Chain A
Amino acid sequence: MAAQGKGFQQSQMAQWNRSGYFRSPGSRDVNPDLEAERQTASFSVERLTAILDGGADNTRTRRAVEAVIYSDPGFSRENQYFQSQNERYETAVRKAVYLKEKMHQMGWTEDGPEVKYCYRALGGDLAFNIHRVFKSSILALGTDEQIAKWIPLADKYHIIGTYAQTELGHGTFLRGLETTAIFDISTQEFTLNTPKISAMKWWPGDLGRSATHAVVFAQLYIKGKCYGLHAFILQIRSLRDHSPAPGVIVGDIGPKMNFEHIDNGYLMLQNINIPRENMLSRFSQVLPDGTYMKQGSDKINYLTMIITRVQILWTEVIPMLLKACTIAIRYSVVRRQSKLNPGDPEAKILDYQTQQQKLLPLLATAYAFHFMNGYVNEFYNKGYTEIKQENFDSLPELHALTSGLKAIITEYCTAGAEVCLRACGGHGYSALSGLPFLYTKLAASCTYEGENTVLFLQTARFLVKCLAAVHSGQPIPPSAAYLYSVDSGKCQAWTKMDFLRPDIYGEAYRHRATRLLGNAATKLQALVQSGAEQHEAWNQCTVQLVKAAKAHCHYIVVKNFIDTVEKLRNEAEIQKIVKHLCDLFALHGIFSNTGDFLHAGYISGDQMDMVTASYLDLLAVIRNNAVPLVDAFDFTDESLNSALGSYDGHVYQRLYEWAQKSPTNQQVSQAYARYLKPLFQSALSKL
């Protein structure tokens, strides 16, 4: 009966197609409403794409990779939204394995330029993401011998690893982790244990069903003394039949808001013995006689987290906002609703000011974060090289910067994707829009790899120290050096056009960041001087400190955007549009936080009205380039996987065709026979 239903639908579709009821979404004819938007671009989309990719060569490589991936039915995402948790997991494993083969076949190596484009193309579809964290933790924390032993095995997938840090009862507070590793001199082994239920490892990806090995964080005990957290490699499943190793209880933690393709898992250890060599020992080691040796910073355990934070920004976070903007903006020029002027046809919803105000600042934010990401990577690569050479000077700044930026970027991207979802009205709520998927993926990023509030407070702690250094005339790290400059006291704008000057709004952000940090630090000091204990005073100021840290990060992003525009001086057309985006990003931030800028009178009420006027003017300016600006992100339809956001704009046809494929339309439900039929029976005689 299912087949019959399907047959009917197909013949019906064919008939409608012949009658011109549907245009085939496969063809390149583009919805005229979308086509018209592309005619009026003020810049070369192709050129902007090349700039976003970091050069036309990269664009070529990326497209070549995408062409290979998307033309291969093995990577099809067609059924993604219809799959159960089990099916999604299995698909993710299959694709991860298949990608490995494909890369081999294409001659793409693990350190080649193609890899990141593979992940961009398949992001969110592949298992073994934490396998990569497993590897990077060994590379960061392991000795050369350990790297030589484990990495080749992991590269070939002869083992699959996970990174088991978080426990049921502990995430944020690493020192509170309860898993133990006790060194036994007589056997030269560590014994690992999960002493209570809250100590169970909980959440690590790839752990639930896939991993054979794990890097496990545990409290190290030698001769009864605790030496704090260390990382150990242990085998958790048989390489022969995949069954759990003796003493290991392992499984999947159950359905989540998304990430159903990942088997986040639990792990309970009962007297698992591993050799002394399995402790990752680049920065600290245990000698055969039980002597504990340490080299390097206490903060070294944070290194893997810093690496991961930097990586997720460009793999899991920022591209999701770019995609959400692409979908929502394309849909908003295809969707027509109500009339702006009586007698006119219904207007594109992007022509409504309220719709522009929802989406265009997000588009500017997407660009801001894309450029920010380039800066973070540069900063990080420099710091990472130094740390590997055991120079830890830049670690505090690297940690503070990546913490704060991870928090602000994930927070804005998550909120932004949700705005995109709701800006698409009812259709945004359909899974087929692709937006629920993007949103729920992003939503996780606000708590994983460091809970955002905690991260902001880490940045705040760093800033408070920097401010103290300023007061005592000591040097401070570059990202906070602005704290040294002298405040002008009042905003120097006289007309609304002045607010399109980067020096004017850049200074406003700097002022706000400095003022909020100063206030928080003063309050902190006042509480301590009035007799409060340091920790209590800190807790009493945390709401203020978070606000100060956010203002700092916001300033860094604005500043970097301004610098980026500056660097585009040889690209007149592009510079012009990117400058508009930069202005919009900055003014939107002021418009949304007027109180911060009005308080203490830096910006006056009249000036604030100018900000608003300039801001609203910019919406209309960017409106005309909105579609080319999302086109420049150059996401393929396959990668967007959205009925609303595809390049050709055949929104309604696609929605309808995709809905046909839903299992609810393909499978026979028992609901009718079991529950409805008995109810309907007696109507037959009466109607």
Chain B
Amino acid sequence: MNKDLRRERDSASFNPELLTHVLDGGAERTRRRREIEALVLNDPDFQHEDLNFLSRSQRYEEAIRKSALMVVKLREYGIADPDEIYWFKSCIHCGRPEPLDLHLGMFLPTLLTQATLEQQDRFFMPAWNLEIIGTYAQTEMGHGTHLRGLETTATYDPATQEFILNSPTVTSIKWWPGGLGKTSNHAIVLAQLYTQGQCKGLHAFIVPIRQLGTHEPLPGITVGDIGPKFGYDEMDNGYLKMDNFRIPRENMLMKYAKVEPDGTYVKPVSDKLTYGTMVFIRSLIVGDSARSLSRACTIAIRYSSVRHQSELKPGDPEPQILDYQTQQYKLFPLLATAYAFHFVGAYMKKTYHRITGDINQGDLRQLPELHALTAGLKAFTSWTANAGIEECRMACGGHGYSRCSGLPDIYVTFTPSCTYEGENTVMMLQTARFLIKSYTQVSSGQLVSGMVSYLNDLSGQHIQPQQVAARPTTVHINDPDSLVEAYKLRASRLVEAAAKNLKAELNRRKSQEDAWNRTSVDLVRASEAHCHYVVVKLFTTQLSEINDAAVHAVMNSLCLLYALYGISKHTGDFLQAGILTDAQVTQVYQRVKELLTAIRPNAVALVDAFDFHDNHLGSVLGRYDGNIYENMFEWAKKSPLNKTEVHESFHKHLKPMQAKL
């Protein structure tokens, strides 16, 4: 092992293994996770060439191979628990997407929740056995966010008892669904249902798209891959165009809404459970934000303790770049953020399970609120992680730009989560809508509960400018609980400001919608402040659940750093609202720098505790043993450009030109 890394590990003040247990949710779960990962790591069938040297088609093919194998092995090993499946899968694909994601994550679950028993009989087992591979085709070229605007039509023909599916315009072509381009032979298609001459809105239909046996597209179906993307090389995101394509009436998913043989439409009973699914998916994205940022931090922090550059003191050997204050300032707040988001993800998942745990006894009344609030958290964490991963890459200097660092791959894989499953700005505005609603409720004298209950502090008060600001506050910058209060005040101040601006716009006789649009920058700010508060609060709460004193001490520093760094980046909000004074802000800046120094000796142990296997990191710079330079050279030798000593372009282009000039 590289001597710098060894020294870093020896000097840690806590046992990273114990922190790993905290992250996993217990020692037993850590053990089981490693056991499952070992099944993949020790299996020669899952090994392959470095993906960085493969073309997109090759990467797709490799992913398909592993996915097919994965399904077989999961069943062979009897792994069925969702968390365990997740561990197995992410170890195989190293956190990258794979062509069966939509089949496993959307097609099968949608069959389970929206298909009738008869439909499940027809489709579920073949799909379970991968004889049918399906995808979920919702997004169209012209519509993503605004679902009601989708243009694909499904027109019922009572004469033949069929639906006729059409893509009437170029913008209505289904675009983006994963696994659609090359892999799937079926799709659940969302289309506007027309029956008896009336549009009944969006419904889901099971549509066969490729011929079983030959895999050729069926007549009336045009299907293909949408081409190269920023990342997602292994995923065949596809397009689908349908021309008078007929499917039997029984292919509409009819557990809730129905079309009778004569074309009579039967309305669905309202269904809060779809909120549940979305909350669950958002909790996954928050978890993914935490993991992706953790991986990036692991790479950047290990590399920064191996890399030596310049001099701090004239005449001394070159220091580890992690000893520079500017480097610590880039990386340690991100490290703290990765931990914070981990706890937020765990909280969301737990809450989701608590609420939906037993559908009969579960209190589903909380779901709409949870749905509204988690929209913002999805946006907040994915934006922050997205920027953080790039910070980590740039903190690795030029070498971070090489794909051997693994960082470009983490970034391009993660960044679409800012737009998929709800575009982030739209998500922030959803949360804002809930915040404004709660604020209005409080203003009219009613109390609100849950994460927005801080708005109750405004109740009974006549709302005036600077009302929140005027309240005397004493913020103790070394006390996490006091910082939670500071964030709470900031959030209420910004929610209040947005609500007032909204009202002012309305008073200018603008329509509700116009006023909302003209206030949306303020509204997004309010949502961000709310989410920031929730994250600080959850991190702080987590501290009390850590028993080991040494681990507690270091996590306390990280929590403080997270909270204080956030203040230092938004001093304007805290100053303008009178939550902090100029002098306190100066103290916050100073305290942040002290915390950097405090965390420095534990930085490597803190990323070791994330417990990523080298295989999963996929980074020469982030190797556990720190032997970076020799392995960069070994890696580079495999570059496709190095296949021959003299590249063919010399003979083709260079030599003839030299002769001419």
Which residues of A does B touch, CB under 8 Å? Answer: 9, 12, 21-22, 81-82, 84-86, 89-90, 93-94, 97, 100-101, 156-158, 160, 166, 168-173, 176, 197-198, 200, 202-203, 208-210, 239, 241-244, 251-257, 263, 266, 335-342, 346, 351-355, 357-358, 418, 421-422, 425-426, 428-432, 436, 440, 443-444, 446-448, 451-454, 457, 533, 535-536, 539-544, 546, 593-601, 605, 608, 616, 652-653, 655-656, 658-665, 667, 669-672, 674-677, 679-684, 686-687
- Residue contact B419 to A425, C-beta cutoff 8 Å: yes
Which one of B61, B228, B418, B642 contacts A669 once the chains associate, using CB atoms below 8 Å? B61
- Residue contact A674 to B639, C-beta cutoff 8 Å: no
User: Bound complex: CA of A209 vs CA of B4, how far in Å?
Assistant: 35
B413 to chain A, nearest CB (A): 11
User: Bound complex: CA of A544 vs CA of B517, how far in Å?
Assistant: 37
User: Bound complex: CA of A253 vs CA of B53, how far in Å?
Assistant: 12
Interchain residue pairs A-B with the least CB separation, the first 6: A594-B572, A595-B571, A683-B131, A252-B641, A662-B227, A254-B639
0/1 string, B625-661, CB within 8 A of A gives 1: 0000110110111111110011111101111011011
User: Bound complex: CA of A423 vs CA of B452, how far in Å?
Assistant: 29
User: Bound complex: CA of A683 vs CA of B68, how far in Å?
Assistant: 16
B223 to chain A, nearest CB (A): 10
Looking at the complex, which of B189-197, B285-293, B394-402 is the stretch in contact with chain A? B394-402
- Residue contact B632 to A168, C-beta cutoff 8 Å: yes
Pick 20 A–B contacts, CB within 8 A, sort by A. A86-B641, A90-B649, A93-B654, A168-B632, A176-B318, A202-B632, A254-B53, A353-B519, A430-B227, A431-B228, A443-B390, A446-B394, A453-B327, A539-B323, A596-B572, A652-B170, A671-B61, A672-B215, A675-B68, A680-B212
- Residue contact B309 to A595, C-beta cutoff 8 Å: no
Is B408 part of the binding interface, using a Cβ–Cβ cutoff of 8 Å?
yes
Contacts of B524 in A (CB 8 A): 354
Is B294 part of the binding interface, using a Cβ–Cβ cutoff of 8 Å?
no
Closest residue of chain A to B225 (Cβ to Cβ) is A664
Closest residue of chain A to B173 (Cβ to Cβ) is A656
Closest residue of chain A to B223 (Cβ to Cβ) is A665
Is B130 part of the binding interface, using a Cβ–Cβ cutoff of 8 Å?
yes
Is B376 part of the binding interface, using a Cβ–Cβ cutoff of 8 Å?
no
Is B542 part of the binding interface, using a Cβ–Cβ cutoff of 8 Å?
no
- Residue contact A337 to B227, C-beta cutoff 8 Å: no
User: Bound complex: CA of A506 vs CA of B97, how far in Å?
Assistant: 49
Contacts of A665 in B (CB 8 A): 181, 224-225, 227
Contacts of B170 in A (CB 8 A): 21-22, 652-653, 656
Which of B144, B227, B323, B326 neighbours the largest number of chain A CB atoms within 10 Å of its CB?
B227
Is B548 part of the binding interface, using a Cβ–Cβ cutoff of 8 Å?
no
User: Bound complex: CA of A595 vs CA of B577, how far in Å?
Assistant: 11
Closest residue of chain A to B329 (Cβ to Cβ) is A543
- Residue contact A595 to B661, C-beta cutoff 8 Å: no
B518 to chain A, nearest CB (A): 6
Which one of B56, B229, B578, B639 contacts A663 once the chains associate, using CB atoms below 8 Å? B56
Measured as residues with beta carbon below 8 angstroms from the partner, the interface class of chain B is 35 or more
Which one of A89, A252, A355 contacts B636 once the chains associate, using CB atoms below 8 Å? A252
Is B116 part of the binding interface, using a Cβ–Cβ cutoff of 8 Å?
no
Contacts of A266 in B (CB 8 A): 633, 636
Contacts of A661 in B (CB 8 A): 227
- Residue contact A679 to B68, C-beta cutoff 8 Å: yes
Looking at the complex, which of B8-16, B87-95, B135-143, B157-165 is the stretch in contact with chain A? B135-143
A403 to chain B, nearest CB (A): 15
0/1 string, B522-562, CB within 8 A of A gives 1: 00100000000000000000000000000000000000000
Contacts of A444 in B (CB 8 A): 401
Is B450 part of the binding interface, using a Cβ–Cβ cutoff of 8 Å?
no
A249 to chain B, nearest CB (A): 10
For window 271-299 of B, CB contacts with A under 8 Å fall at: none
Given A337-B146, A337-B149, A655-B141, 11 new contacts (CB under 8 A): A21-B169, A158-B658, A209-B649, A254-B635, A336-B142, A340-B517, A422-B418, A596-B571, A598-B575, A599-B571, A677-B215
Contact A451 B52, CB 8 Å, known A12-B222, A173-B318, A595-B570: no
- Residue contact A669 to B518, C-beta cutoff 8 Å: no
- Residue contact A242 to B650, C-beta cutoff 8 Å: yes
Closest residue of chain B to A196 (Cβ to Cβ) is B629
Is B81 part of the binding interface, using a Cβ–Cβ cutoff of 8 Å?
no
Contacts of B171 in A (CB 8 A): 652
Contacts of B323 in A (CB 8 A): 539
- Residue contact B646 to A242, C-beta cutoff 8 Å: yes
User: Bound complex: CA of A460 vs CA of B400, how far in Å?
Assistant: 25
- Residue contact B630 to A197, C-beta cutoff 8 Å: yes
- Residue contact B229 to A257, C-beta cutoff 8 Å: no
- Residue contact B182 to A687, C-beta cutoff 8 Å: no
0/1 string, B173-184, CB within 8 A of A gives 1: 101100001110
Contact A337 B144, CB 8 Å, known A662-B228, A679-B131: yes
User: Bound complex: CA of A43 vs CA of B658, how far in Å?
Assistant: 49
- Residue contact B658 to A93, C-beta cutoff 8 Å: no
Contact A337 B145, CB 8 Å, known A90-B649, A662-B226: yes
- Residue contact A599 to B654, C-beta cutoff 8 Å: no
Contact A664 B654, CB 8 Å, known A82-B227, A166-B398, A598-B571: no
User: Bound complex: CA of A384 vs CA of B2, how far in Å?
Assistant: 45
Is B366 part of the binding interface, using a Cβ–Cβ cutoff of 8 Å?
no
Contacts of B268 in A (CB 8 A): none
- Residue contact A94 to B649, C-beta cutoff 8 Å: yes
Which one of A200, A422, A443, A680 contacts B401 once the chains associate, using CB atoms below 8 Å? A443
Is B312 part of the binding interface, using a Cβ–Cβ cutoff of 8 Å?
yes
Is B514 part of the binding interface, using a Cβ–Cβ cutoff of 8 Å?
yes
Which one of B307, B394, B403, B419 contacts A255 once the chains associate, using CB atoms below 8 Å? B403
- Residue contact A429 to B229, C-beta cutoff 8 Å: yes
User: Bound complex: CA of A242 vs CA of B658, how far in Å?
Assistant: 12
- Residue contact A244 to B639, C-beta cutoff 8 Å: no
Is B415 part of the binding interface, using a Cβ–Cβ cutoff of 8 Å?
yes
Contact A447 B212, CB 8 Å, known A176-B318, A251-B639: no
Contacts of A680 in B (CB 8 A): 130-131, 133, 185, 212-213, 215
- Residue contact B326 to A157, C-beta cutoff 8 Å: no
- Residue contact A352 to B520, C-beta cutoff 8 Å: yes
Is B478 part of the binding interface, using a Cβ–Cβ cutoff of 8 Å?
no
User: Bound complex: CA of A440 vs CA of B390, how far in Å?
Assistant: 11
- Residue contact B212 to A683, C-beta cutoff 8 Å: yes
- Residue contact B638 to A254, C-beta cutoff 8 Å: yes
Contact A659 B394, CB 8 Å, known A86-B640, A338-B145: no
B581 to chain A, nearest CB (A): 10
Closest residue of chain B to A84 (Cβ to Cβ) is B55
Contact A540 B652, CB 8 Å, known A425-B145, A664-B56, A675-B68: no
- Residue contact A598 to B650, C-beta cutoff 8 Å: no
Contacts of A22 in B (CB 8 A): 170
Contacts of A252 in B (CB 8 A): 636, 639, 641-642
Contacts of A544 in B (CB 8 A): 589
- Residue contact A425 to B144, C-beta cutoff 8 Å: yes
Contacts of B589 in A (CB 8 A): 544
Is B429 part of the binding interface, using a Cβ–Cβ cutoff of 8 Å?
yes
User: Bound complex: CA of A656 vs CA of B145, how far in Å?
Assistant: 20
Contacts of B632 in A (CB 8 A): 168, 202, 253
A381 to chain B, nearest CB (A): 29
Which one of B208, B213, B330, B652 contacts A684 once the chains associate, using CB atoms below 8 Å? B213
Contacts of A160 in B (CB 8 A): 654
- Residue contact B398 to A535, C-beta cutoff 8 Å: no
Contact A254 B52, CB 8 Å, known A443-B390, A595-B571, A595-B572: yes
B398 to chain A, nearest CB (A): 5
Is B324 part of the binding interface, using a Cβ–Cβ cutoff of 8 Å?
yes
- Residue contact A171 to B398, C-beta cutoff 8 Å: yes
- Residue contact B657 to A430, C-beta cutoff 8 Å: no
- Residue contact A168 to B629, C-beta cutoff 8 Å: yes
Contacts of B149 in A (CB 8 A): 337-338, 346
B201 to chain A, nearest CB (A): 16
Contacts of B311 in A (CB 8 A): 173, 535
Closest residue of chain B to A5 (Cβ to Cβ) is B224
